[in-house]
Amino acid sequence: MAGIQIERLTKRFGAVIAVRDLSLEIRDREFVTLLGPSGCGKTTLLRLIAGFMSPDEGVIRVGATTLSTPAGVVPPERRGMGMVFQNYAVWPHRTVYQNVAFGLEVRKVGRAETRARVARVLELVNLAGLERRYPSELSGGQQQRVALARSLVVEPGILLLDEPLSNLDAKLRERMRWELKELQRRTGITFVYVTHDQSEAMALSDRIAVMHGGEIMQLGEPRAVYTRPANRIVADFMGLVNLIPGRVIRAAGDDSLVAVGGEHPIAARSRRARSAGRRCRWRSAPRASA
Amino acid sequence: MAGSVLALAVLVVLPLTFLVWGSVNTDGHLTLAHFRDAVSSRLYTQALRNSLILGISTAVLSVAIGLPLAWAVSRTNVPGKPFIHLTAIVSYLTPPFLTAIAFVNLFSPRAGLVNRFVRDVLGMPALTFDVFSMAGLILVTVPHTFPFVYLLAASALESVDASMEESAQILGASRWRTVAAVTGPLVAPAILSGALVAFVNAIALFGSQAIVGLPGRVFTLPTRIYALFDYPPQYGLASALSLIFVALTVAALYLQRRYLARRSYVTLGGKGNRPQLVDLGPARWGVFAFCVGVFAVAVAAPYLTLLAVSVSKSWGLQFWQNLTLRHYHFVLFEYDVTRRAIWNSLILASATATLTVLLGSLVSWLDLRTALRGRKLLDYVSLIPLGLPGIVVAVALIQFWLRVPLPIYGTLLIILLAYTGRYVPLGVRSANAAFRQIDPALEETARVTGAGWLRTFRSVTLPLARPGLFAGWLLVFVPALQELSASVLLFSSGSITLAVAVYNLYETGALGPVAALAIVTMLIITAAIALATRLGRGRAAGAVSRAERGEVTQ
């Protein structure tokens, strides 16, 4: 079981509050994306989950085990998680094989089994045959897969990914997205994925947590977050949503009506207008196309 | 092009050719007799052995001191990081012969202050330390060489991104396992490289080897070569020994370059690195104490000792009871050599710095911005002096200019040639770095806008390169001001330099005046750096430390 419970987590850096009283429950085998602009606290949250930082307040639990409290933190090396970094962090002085086998060496897995498992995972990420290469002889996409294979080979219950696709070119990013999703389906690992790219989040996630100022603005399925943003920050960030100034004609909950446009206003449906006659901003709900 | 070819020929190629020629030639006949003498006589094999022992011990100790300091500054929350960094820089800038003289005042067998204290006050003669020994030589050399390891290791440690280590940790590796499997292999090339540079520098320091080695009869290659110039001078043998010395230096530098070329990882990435910091907790005060210890030995002890000796009538346990300024009065107003030496050194250092930067700019510009044939060769030739210890440069120049019917031997000019030849690699390195930072597009834009070649150089290239060139100037100026190894063979009474004046005064045994002159020397160096930095409008300060790294990376 590798669900993650985060309760009332706060992390400060001096006067800056990077994560603010944040609670989140990630289910086993779920693909959850932390989405937000840079500085929203998403990477800090990921590093708190990994155990590279200790929280100032709050608790992080995996299953029944408490991993992080302000009083103490289980170090990263004893959490049994995997992590893929934005810059891949593939070790340049080790071959592909040595990179991938490292986690198994640490776990004192026997030679024959190591070889078999490395071969299997390299097969999984389409790198078979490149075992003896050094990272400098690989393309960006291939290095990315080495980083993935290195995390997957130890069969972690949870895989943390920090903007793993942002250094790839558009075409490759597209393909790796699909492969990541496939991989998650096949392995059944819980993925916590950090990105600032909302289309990536839409394509990959079971649920998206949109973050801003260290807080979760909205948590939900991709389509729900996209079509029914909880507030303007989320709407702005999800993009493709138009905010048009208008005036409320009829305030009647789900069945409200708003006049939008300048000289020749048109009536538009609204789901939650407050009171008739007030100025407002009408949000055009996009068709769910993604 | 022709100018720089001519300059490099006169400065480097011809003297070196004559050095080789002189080593295999007796009265016009080809002979290997000099080499045979050099390798068969115990005098010289012993010197070679001593040089090797000195170089290797110094390199090992430089790592033992430089690496912990580098780690503390770049990877921990140790207090006083600027102080630690400054300790390394000041140790690096202190003339090695001053450190040696200071330690002689503390640890000479009978008169050394510490030895007297241990013997006469504590009554434990077994604990005295004789500085005139191999151990003493190593002690006075390491303060000058550990900064090489420190600077290289610190920049390597800073350039390893934390994610490299975190990847290992999240896979279950303990802290030590991470160091062994990831951090260590990544920074090892820089450490080894620093150790080899320390080795090369240690064996070339004539000053400390003469001041501490000769009284203890610990002969090394430079002091043996120096002795061969006593009457009657044995030029052939000196040349042969010089070449053996060069072979040793070049072998070390070759190892360094090869190792770096094959296994250098730390320059990858480069931008936005976030090194992993270790919270040491209370242990950070222990680490800090280690740094203070290094400061005490490498900086505080030499300077305080020289200061104390320079103001005491008689050096001893009660030295503070008879304070005097008469040593300063003597060296500044009575001893007429001093002012001449100060003047000569200032002229030589400024001229050398200017010439090397000009020549360096020319060579780098040809290399980077033109497609002329042979420009690469020019670049390589200008780096040859890296493999030539100062005393070897002097021997080569003597071999050359004694055979040329131009009477420059014994003048400031030959010393200027020696300095310029020695430091031309620094000029080329700095200029190369300065020009490399300028995107050719900036110059092309000027050309497209209608500016001619010269106009472009004047209004675009030069202003952009100026801070880097200025740093290079300072980088040559400071060591040239305190140069001893080459000057000691080339000076005459008219062309005496500061360092030679200090050394000569030391040989007469006048400890008080020597200390006073040493302090004056340091004041001049400090004032010159301060003045030069102000002239460079402060931009050079950061550039200097960058250039230092550039220099030691070679």
pLDDT digits over A166-182, tens only?
887 888 788 888 888 88
The answer on A220 and A103 residing in a single domain is yes
Q: B354-357: long-range contacts at Cβ-Cβ below 8 A with a sequence spacing of 24 or more?
A: B354/B473, B355/B416, B355/B420, B355/B427, B356/B420, B356/B423, B356/B424, B356/B426, B356/B427, B356/B428, B356/B472, B356/B476, B357/B427, B357/B430, B357/B431, B357/B469, B357/B472, B357/B473, B357/B476
| pLDDT of res. B57 | 97
Per-residue pLDDT band at A241 (split at 50, 70, 90): low
Does one domain contain both A271 and A170? Answer: no
User: Does residue A278 have a pLDDT over 80?
Assistant: no
Q: What is the largest CA-CA distance in chain A?
A: 77
Domain spans, chain B: 2-28+64-553
Statement: residue B469 has pLDDT above 70:
yes
Label residue B350 exposed, middle or buried (CB < 10 Å: 0-12, 13-18, 19+).
Answer: middle
Selection from B206, B97, B138, B218 nearest residue B506 by Cα: B97
Query: Min CA distance, A203 vs chain B (Å)?
Result: 26
In a 10 Å sphere around its CB, with 0-12 CB exposed, 13-18 middle and 19+ buried, how is residue A140 labelled? exposed
Question: Could you tell me the CATH number of the domain that includes residue A135?
Answer: 3.40.50.300
Q: Are residues A130 and A256 in the same domain?
A: no
Q: Look over chain A and give the mean of its residue pLDDT values, rounded to a whole number.
A: 87
Q: Of B350, B323, B370, nearest to B416 (Cα)? A: B350
pLDDT single digits (tens) A19-30: 999 999 999 999
Phi, psi of A211 (to 5 degrees): -110, 150
What pLDDT does A270 receive? 73
Q: In this structure, what token pair is assigned to residue B113? A: 């202050």
Contact between A4 and A25 under an 8 Å Cβ cutoff? The reply is yes
Give a three-class secondary structure readout of chain A: CCCEEEEEEEEEECCEEEEEEEEEEECCCCEEEEECCCCCCHHHHHHHHHCCCCCCEEEEEECCEEEEECCEECCHHHCCCEEECCCCCCCCCCCHHHHHHHHHHHCCCCHHHHHHHHHHHHHHCCCCCCCCCCHHHCCHHHHHHHHHHHHHCCCCCEEEEECCCCCCCHHHHHHHHHHHHHHHHHHCCEEEEEECCHHHHHHHCCEEEEEECCEEEEEECHHHHHHCCCCHHHHHHHCCCEEEEEEEEECCECCEEEEECCCCCEEEEECCECCCCCEEEEEECCCCCC
Identify whether residues A130 and A163 lie together within a single domain. yes
Q: Considering A194, A213, A234, which residue would you say is the last residue of a domain?
A: A234
What's the DSSP call for residue B35? H
Alpha-carbon gap, residue A136 to B266, rounded angstroms: 12
Q: How confident is the model at residue A242 (pLDDT cuts 50, 70, 90)?
A: low
Chain B residues touching A103 at Cβ < 8 A:
171-172
B220: pLDDT confidence band, cut at 50, 70 and 90?
very high
pLDDT given for residue B269 in this prediction: 42
Average pLDDT over residues B262-289: 71
In a domain, A14, yes or no: yes
From residue B14, how far is each of A235, B210, B428 by CA, in Å? 76, 29, 19
Length of chain A equals 290
pLDDT digits (tens, 9 = 90+) for B419-440: 999 999 999 988 988 888 888 8
Residues β-bridged to residue A280: A246
Q: Give Cα separations from A12 to A46, A64, A66, A72, B138 (angstroms).
A: 15, 26, 21, 16, 49
Q: Could you tell me which residues of chain A have a Cβ less than 8 Å from any Cβ in chain B?
A: 50, 52, 75-83, 85-87, 89, 91-93, 102-103, 106-107, 136, 147, 150-151, 154, 160
Give the pLDDT score at A36: 92
At B538, the pLDDT band (50, 70, 90 cuts) reads very low
Q: How many CB atoms lie under 10 A from the CB of residue A13?
A: 11
Residue pair B191/B266 in contact by the 8 Å Cβ criterion? no
Q: Check whether B543 has a pLDDT greater than 50.
A: no
Whether A268 and A128 share a structural domain? no
Contact A102 B171 (CB under 8 A): yes
| Spatial separation of the C-alpha atoms in residues A171 and A119, rounded to whole Å | 27
Segment A90-105, tens digit of pLDDT: 998 899 999 999 999 9
Q: Are B134 and B51 in contact (CB under 8 A)?
A: no
High-pLDDT (> 70) share of chain A, %: 94
Percent of chain B clearing pLDDT 90 (strictly above): 40
Residues A77 and A187 in one domain: yes
Is the residue at A19 inside a domain? yes
pLDDT at B429: 87
Which among B159, B161, B170, B277 is the top mutation candidate for probing chain A, defined by the most A β-carbons within 10 Å of its own β-carbon?
Answer: B170
Asked if residue A74 belongs to a domain, the reply is yes
Which residues 250-269 in chain B show a CB within 8 A of chain A? 263, 265, 268-269
- Together in a domain, A253 and A130: no
Least confident range from A190-199, B349-358, B418-427, B529-538: namely B529-538
Length in residues, chain B:
554
Please tell me whether the interface predicted TM-score (ipTM) of this complex is above 0.95: no
The sign of the dihedral angle between the CA atoms of B283, B288, B293, B298 is positive
Please measure the distance between the N-terminal and C-terminal CA atoms of chain A and give it in whole angstroms: 31
What tokens does A121 get? 């995972």
The answer to whether residue A75 sits within a structural domain is: yes
Over residues A71-86, the mean pLDDT reads 90
Question: Would you say residue B276 has pLDDT above 60?
Answer: yes
The share of chain B scoring above pLDDT 70, in percent, equals 94
The Cα–Cα gap between B459 and B539 comes to: 19
pTM of the model: 0.81
- Domain count for chain A, please give it: 2
- Whether A156 and A270 map to the same domain: the answer is no
Q: What is the residue range of A191's domain?
A: 4-234
Chain-chain contact of B173 with A77 (C-beta, under 8 angstroms): yes
CA–CA separation, B177 vs B156, rounded Å?
19
* B22-46 pLDDT tens trace: 888 877 788 888 888 888 888 899 9
Residue A217 covered by a domain: yes
Residue-level pLDDT at B9: 84
pLDDT of residue B264: 58
How near does any CA of chain B get to the CA of A155, in Å?
10
Categorize the per-residue pLDDT at B552 as very low, low, confident or very high, splitting at 50, 70 and 90: very low
Q: Is B272's pLDDT higher than 70?
A: no
- Is the bond into B95 cis (omega within 30 degrees of 0)? no
Helices (H), B298-389: 301-310, 326-329, 336-369, 375-383
A219, part of any domain? yes
Asked if A89 and B181 come within 8 Å (Cβ–Cβ), the reply is no
pLDDT, one tens digit per residue, over B64-116 is 999 999 999 998 899 999 999 999 999 988 999 999 999 999 999 888 889 88
- Assign B537 a pLDDT band (cuts: 50, 70, 90): low
* pLDDT value of residue B267: 46
Residues A22, A58: Cα–Cα separation, whole Å: 8
- Has residue A289 been placed in a domain? no
CB distance B170–A93 less than 8 Å? no
Q: What three-state secondary structure class fits B357?
A: helix
What CATH number belongs to B2-28+64-553? 1.10.3720.10
The amino acid present at B506, given as its one-letter code, is: Y
**Facing A93 at nearest CB: one of B161, B170, B265:** B265
Both A92 and A172 in one domain: the answer is yes
pLDDT greater than 60 at residue A282:
yes
